């Protein structure tokens, strides 16, 4: 991937919050290594290393050791990023999360484990949003900001408190009590992963704070920025990126995919055909690949894997898996691929 970076708008939001909390503007610019003029273009990029330096200078100059956490709590992402506006134009909290996950690299582009920054993982206790950022303890402020934004934005917008508990891999800081105040949920430190357990019912809460037509306009702009960030993707790649975070909803249909990509069903069909595939083949191959990864990881049950890749009926998943591999899911898990 390209050099890790953040949007200038995201860096500007942190800069202005620190100034509002007592940091001297000139000293912050000098110690943080940023010139206010380079933060003016919201969609410009700032190297991630400089954002870390800005965060540390901002904490020192404002006297707020929990500034990363407070940034997520206090600043609406729509004020500093196009991605937040797309969230406001989404129909439900679930759709807002899907779109945030789809475009999160426009806010912060850092190395991650897997295809998406945030993964949905299920266990016996419920459904978790897991931050897949690599080496999170090197800069825990980013994880605190991200989770605080995911929790506090819907609380402000629609009065929904959908987080039930959280875990962080870094040790408990001196301001650990502030985490529970911000999140209004139990928080564990020194855990195996950065994750938060959510109330699945909360994802159905309506949002639609902007007219629905704005969704298509904003998404088109976000797609253009993503292409600038990563190069022009193939139609297949765009479809896979769209489907990845919504497979579990069972709504991964061609009509919905085309609509989300801002094109007609016929246009999407033609573009995929030009690349030698059909939508059904892309969907089937994506499910196969993810199912193999989940089962090989041995962290979720076979029925949970079926749910995560979009099968409401475990028997249908077992039939599909046997078609893919010649084995049942349980046989694969016991012995691996033959």
Tens-digit pLDDT profile for residues 274-330: 888 899 999 998 888 888 877 876 667 888 888 888 888 889 999 999 999 888 998
Compute CA distances 171 → 38, 111, 180, 188, 189, whole Å: 34, 22, 15, 9, 5
Q: How far apart are the first and last CA of the chain?
A: 33
Query: Tokens 């249908």 appear where?
Result: 316
pLDDT in tens, 30-73: 898 887 777 888 888 888 988 999 999 999 999 999 999 999 99
Compute CA distances 276 → 137, 154, 240, 273, whole Å: 43, 41, 15, 5
Q: Return the pLDDT at 336.
A: 53
DSSP 3: P
Residues of the chain with confidence (pLDDT) below 70: 1-2, 208-209, 230-234, 245, 297-299, 335-338
Compute CA distances 304 → 113, 158, 264, 290, whole Å: 20, 30, 33, 12
Alpha helices in the chain (DSSP H): 8-20, 25-32, 48-62, 67-74, 82-88, 93-103, 140-158, 176-183, 212-230, 235-243, 254-260, 265-274, 279-297, 302-308, 314-325, 329-335
- Residue 332 to residue 338: CA distance in whole angstroms: 8
Q: Return the pLDDT at 7.
A: 93
- Residue 180 to residue 188: CA distance in whole angstroms: 10
Q: Return the pLDDT at 125.
A: 86
Compute CA distances 155 → 67, 246, 286, whole Å: 19, 23, 34
Q: What are phi and psi of 130, to 5 degrees?
A: -115, 125
Q: Return the pLDDT at 298.
A: 66
pTM comes to 0.67
Q: Return the pLDDT at 39.
A: 87
Q: Return the pLDDT at 338.
A: 39
- Residue 297 to residue 289: CA distance in whole angstroms: 12
Q: Return the pLDDT at 208.
A: 66
């Amino acid at each position: 991937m390209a050099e890790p970076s953040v949007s200038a708008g995201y860096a500007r939001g942190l800069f202005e919050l620190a100034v509002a909390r007592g940091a001297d503007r000139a000293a912050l610019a000098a110690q943080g290594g940023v010139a206010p003029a380079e933060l003016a273009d919201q969609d410009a990029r700032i190297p991630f290393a400089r954002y870390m330096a800005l965060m540390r200078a901002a904490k020192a100059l404002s006297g707020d050791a929990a500034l990363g956490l407070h940034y997520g709590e206090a600043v609406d992402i729509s004020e500093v990023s196009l991605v937040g506006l797309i969230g406001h134009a989404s129909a439900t909290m679930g759709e807002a999360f899907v779109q945030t996950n789809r475009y999160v690299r426009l806010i912060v582009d850092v190395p991650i484990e897997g295809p998406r920054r945030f993964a949905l993982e299920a266990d016996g206790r419920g459904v978790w949003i897991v931050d897949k950022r690599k080496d999170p303890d090197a800069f825990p402020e980013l994880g605190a900001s991200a989770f605080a934004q995911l929790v506090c934005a819907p609380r402000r917008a629609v009065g929904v408190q959908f987080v039930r508990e959280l875990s962080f891999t870094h040790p408990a800081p001196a301001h650990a009590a502030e985490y529970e105040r911000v999140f209004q949920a139990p928080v564990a430190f020194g855990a195996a992963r950065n994750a938060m357990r959510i109330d699945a019912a909360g994802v159905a809460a309506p949002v639609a704070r902007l007219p629905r037509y704005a969704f298509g306009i904003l998404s088109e702009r976000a797609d253009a920025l993503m292409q600038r960030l990563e190069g022009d993707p193939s139609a297949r790649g765009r479809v896979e990126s769209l489907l990845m975070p919504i497979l579990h909803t069972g709504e991964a249909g061609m009509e919905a995919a085309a609509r989300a990509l801002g094109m007609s069903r016929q246009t999407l069909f033609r573009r995929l055909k030009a690349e030698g595939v059909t939508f059904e083949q892309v969907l089937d191959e994506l499910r196969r690949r993810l199912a193999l990864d989940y089962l090989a990881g041995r962290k979720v049950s076979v029925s949970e894997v079926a749910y995560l890749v979009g099968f409401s009926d475990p028997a249908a998943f077992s039939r599909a898996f046997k078609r893919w591999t010649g084995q049942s899911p349980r046989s694969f898990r016991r012995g691996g691929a033959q």
